[in-house]
Amino acid sequence: MGGQACVLYGGAEFSRDTDIVVLADDDNLGRLAAAVAELEADVVAVPPFSRSHLEAGHAVHFRCRAGGVEGMRLDVMARIRGLPDFTTLWQRRTTIDTAAGPIEALSLPDLVTAKKTQRDKDWPMITRLVEADYAAHGPRADTPRTVFWLRELRTPSILVDVTRSAADVSASLVPKRPLLAAALAADVAGVAAGLAAEEAREREADRIYWAPLRQELERLRLERRR
């Protein structure tokens, strides 16, 4: 669900860690605990590895010590802001074949949503991910993919091109993404302003979502020091 997934989708990124989203039930977390033990991984800082912390929305961080993965960090989550539960994410997943075998990744739309954070590095990645998908499929995409581009493209010139080729679909989406009105009018400056406002709203929503979780982490750190 993180940088490694971005690489698989063609959004090249150097990533020092591996991020995964898991089903937080007792059986599955038992399997995860066995895998973590095989990796000789220890929890880094807080919170501790527990179902309650994962279900609350925290990420649990591990550092691996096993041969071949020394120093690799593994970050585990069960809930992601703006996304549905794990069962729905699993149904929508993309299976990507690699030389090492198949890898199950968040669907591209879900990965884009997961990247809408406060972190500066995530917004250029969203741009690259959607541009890469557009470049791979060209202007003759099916309606669902065109709708995805209209909802998520962050490159004004490309967004203007897509609205020009799918004007009716674009007009129907204006209530959900008002900046499409500027794209339909070929107003590149207006699109850019709309994108900036959109990003600011998502950053603030992410800040609000994480504020109580950060407070809880600080409480756990204080308790750990005592």
Average pLDDT score, the chain = 94
Max intra-chain CA distance, the chain? 62
Range 46-56 average pLDDT? 95
What is residue 13's predicted lDDT score, i.e. its pLDDT?
64
Tally of structural domains, the chain: 2
3-class secondary structure, 160: helix
- Average pLDDT for 138-150: 89
Q: What is the strand order of the sheet 73-77 is part of?
A: 17-21, 73-77, 60-63, 42-43
Of the residues 82, 113, 144, the one at which a domain ends: 113
* Same-domain status, 176 and 131: yes
Q: Tens digits of per-residue pLDDT, 11-42?
A: 766 667 899 999 999 999 999 999 999 999 99
Asked if residue 54 lies in contact with residue 60, where contact means CB atoms within 8 angstroms, the answer is yes
Average pLDDT score over residue span 172-187: 97
Same domain, 31 and 90: yes
H/E element, 213: helix 188-225
For residue 192, being part of any structural domain is answered with yes
Residues 104 and 201 in one domain: no
pLDDT at site 134: 94
| Domain membership of residue 186 as a residue range | 122-207
The answer as to whether 214 is a domain residue is no
| Percentage of the chain modeled with pLDDT above 90 | 85
Asked if residue 220 is part of any domain, the answer here is no
> Helix (H, G, I), strand (E, B), or coil: what is residue 224?
helix
Q: Is the peptide bond before 84 cis (omega within 30 degrees of 0)?
A: no
Q: Which of 81, 79, 80, 62 is nearest to 71 (CA)?
A: 62
Cα-only R_g, the chain: 20
pLDDT exceeds 80 at position 106: yes
Same domain, 99 and 161: no
Q: What is the pLDDT of residue 223?
A: 87
Average pLDDT of the segment spanning 95-120: 95
Model-wide pTM > 0.85: yes
My answer on whether 100 and 163 are in the same domain is no
Q: Whose structure tokens read 């409480």?
A: 219
Has residue 88 been placed in a domain?
yes
Residues 96 and 139 in one domain: no
Same domain membership, residue 173 and residue 80: no
Q: Is 216 part of any domain?
A: no
